[in-house]
Amino acid sequence: MASVVRGRTEMPDSLKGWAASAFALALITSFQAPAQDGAALATDAIFARKLMMSGIEENMTEITKRLDSKTPLDLGATRFHADMISILMMGFPHLFPASTNQWKPEGEHDPATDTFAAPEIWTRYAEFYAQAAAASKAAYRASRAEQEAELRSAVAELRAACDGCHASFQKTEP
């Protein structure tokens, strides 16, 4: 259960380790060591963004479960998950260096290691970045909602931002 400290929702213990690991991995992969080859860096960046997207999806799933539940909404815990999404979305577009533009439409794709990022990310990066920023801002508004209706509205905006970005910039298996 999340608790409120100084007006902010504190992270539940069950998520602290995951969040620290995701942040550390993102930080580590953002700096290229002089001896590290480009292919290894690209693989690490693809892996880091898959982890980050997994964290975003887990938090969105928790929000959806809470909003769909027949029990009274725990506004504080739901806002916590929105806050996590907002933070993760701020860093997400920075995990797309040009070397990770590796989509190949043919052949089988390994969901654990292959990228499903559309090449349009790199040709329309400003649009991609703006969509990620819009999603982050919608999640932030949800994380600061004082009323359930306000939270639901911001979450609907967040869902639409995510769906729009995926439609534009994510490849799927044929």
Instruction: Render pLDDT for 126-164 as a digit per residue (tens, 0 to 9).
Output: 999 999 999 999 999 999 999 999 999 999 999 999 999
Count of C-beta atoms within a 10 Å radius of residue 81? 27
Answer yes or no: is 3 within a domain: no
Instruction: Render pLDDT for 2-53 as a digit per residue (tens, 0 to 9).
Output: 444 445 555 555 555 556 556 555 555 555 455 455 677 888 899 999 999 9
Alpha helices in the chain (DSSP H): 13-29, 38-68, 75-91, 120-123, 125-143, 148-169
Answer yes or no: is 150 within a domain: yes
Domain hosting residue 51, numbered range: 8-169
Instruction: Render pLDDT for 51-107 as a digit per residue (tens, 0 to 9).
Output: 999 999 999 999 999 999 999 999 999 999 999 999 999 999 999 999 999 988 887
Q: According to the model, what pLDDT value does residue 106 have?
A: 82
CB 46 within 8 A of CB 131: no
Q: What is the CATH number of the domain that holds 162?
A: 1.20.120.10
Answer yes or no: is 174 within a domain: no
Beta bridge partners of 152: none
Answer yes or no: is 15 within a domain: yes
Q: According to the model, what pLDDT value does residue 6 have?
A: 45
Answer yes or no: is 1 within a domain: no
Answer yes or no: is 19 within a domain: yes
Q: How many domains are contained in the chain?
A: 1
Count of C-beta atoms within a 10 Å radius of residue 83? 20
Q: 29-63 burial, b if ≥16 CB within 10 A, otherwise e?
A: beeeeeeeeeeebbbbbbbbbbbbbebbeebbebb
Answer yes or no: is 111 within a domain: yes
Instruction: Render pLDDT for 114-127 as a digit per residue (tens, 0 to 9).
Output: 889 999 999 999 99
Answer yes or no: is 66 within a domain: yes
